[in-house]
């Protein structure tokens, strides 16, 4: 796990000498507390008099517990899309996101007008995690933001539901796949630490023998597979920042923003040059 601190000479991403606000893309399984976490970090930034710019990309959310500057629901009616195209719930969300993405250049223009006056850009994504992470529209939105702003993935995990080695490993594998797909700085946010501390997860990630000990109590056929996987994931863990947060109490939020600051520096140093190289390559080949 990464615990490095940015040196005083390093600064977050900037364009034409201007500091760019970091984008925090909040991604998490349904029930992980992602939207409550968004509400908490939004309230935290407002309390510090450093308001963020908030984007909601979930067309199916009923009540949003925070005010969004840009809301996909203002552009696309999810239920009408389902009805018009004869789709189920997931197909409706995906199609709504696709329709919204066709106008994403307008979203970028609106963000750019406020970029100098906001501290962060917070992006809430659909609770059906695969719809955003594996769709073309999700990739377009992520890549477009990352080409301009220091973009960080905050992967929200339901800590109480991750205490069993099998569920923990499933979550880590999913996080691993998102990291390698987005190729962006990544923060594992263990949420609901007011219910269960995330220390067990940190132990399992940093001490191979501790995870082996937990696995020894699992007598199912899955234990041998998880044993092999845990060896493979060692390299993955070394690229991660890990924080424990309670979206209910606010505990750990300061640690989260410290990790975001580090990730913004990491983006500038390690990720931005690669993104710029890929953009030049696409232009050259087109």
In this prediction, residue 141 carries a pLDDT of 96
In this prediction, residue 37 carries a pLDDT of 97
User: Which CATH number covers residue 269?
Assistant: 3.40.50.300
**Residue 256 belongs to some domain of the structure:** yes
Tokens 């796949």 correspond to: 177
Cα 250 from Cα 58, distance rounded (Å): 23
Cα 89 from Cα 97, distance rounded (Å): 12
Cα 192 from Cα 158, distance rounded (Å): 6
C-alpha distances (whole Å) from 24 to each of 76, 149, 185, 206 are 23, 10, 10, 25
DSSP string, 164-210: SHHHHHHHHHHHHHHHHHH-S-EEEEEE-TTTS-SHHHHHHHH-HHH
In this prediction, residue 215 carries a pLDDT of 83
**Residue 12 belongs to some domain of the structure:** no
**Residue 215 belongs to some domain of the structure:** yes
Cα-Cα-Cα-Cα dihedral sign, residues 29, 141, 234, 12: negative
All residue ranges of the chain with pLDDT < 50 are 2-16
Domains identified in the chain, total number: 1
Contact 264, 153 (CB under 8 A): no
Query: Residues with Cβ < 8 Å from 266, sequence gap 6 or more?
Result: 2, 185
**Residue 89 belongs to some domain of the structure:** yes
Range of the domain at 231: 23-285
In this prediction, residue 221 carries a pLDDT of 63
**Residue 9 belongs to some domain of the structure:** no
**Residue 105 belongs to some domain of the structure:** yes
In this prediction, residue 8 carries a pLDDT of 35
**Residue 77 belongs to some domain of the structure:** yes
**Residue 154 belongs to some domain of the structure:** yes
């Amino acid at each position: 796990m990464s615990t490095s601190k940015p040196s005083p000479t390093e600064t977050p991403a900037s364009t034409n000498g201007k500091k760019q606000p970091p984008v925090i893309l909040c991604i998490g399984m349904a029930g992980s507390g992602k939207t409550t976490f968004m509400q908490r970090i939004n309230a935290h930034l407002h309390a510090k008099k450093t308001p963020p710019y908030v984007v909601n990309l979930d067309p199916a959310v009923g009540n949003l517990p925070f005010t969004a500057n840009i809301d996909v629901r203002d552009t696309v009616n999810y239920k009408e899309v389902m009805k018009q195209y004869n789709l189920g719930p997931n197909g409706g969300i995906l199609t709504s996101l696709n329709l919204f993405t066709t106008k994403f250049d307008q979203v970028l223009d609106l963000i750019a007008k406020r970029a100098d006056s906001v501290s962060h850009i917070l992006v809430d994504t659909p609770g059906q995690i695969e719809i955003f992470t594996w769709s073309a529209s999700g990739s377009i939105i992520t890549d477009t933001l990352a080409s301009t702003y220091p973009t960080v993935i905050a992967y929200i995990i339901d800590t109480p539901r991750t205490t069993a080695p099998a569920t923990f490993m499933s979550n880590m594998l999913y996080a691993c796949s998102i990291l390698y797909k987005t190729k962006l700085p990544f923060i594992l946010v263990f949420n609901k630490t007011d219910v269960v501390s995330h220390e067990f997860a940190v132990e399992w990630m940093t001490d191979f023998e501790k995870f082996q000990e937990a696995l020894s109590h699992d007598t199912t056929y899955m234990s041998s597979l998880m044993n092999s996987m845990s060896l493979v994931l060692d390299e993955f863990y070394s690229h991660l920042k890990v924080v424990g947060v309670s979206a209910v109490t606010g505990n750990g939020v300061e640690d989260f923003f410290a990790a975001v600051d580090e990730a913004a520096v990491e983006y500038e140093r390690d990720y931005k040059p690669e993104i710029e190289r890929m953009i030049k390559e696409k232009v050259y080949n087109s």
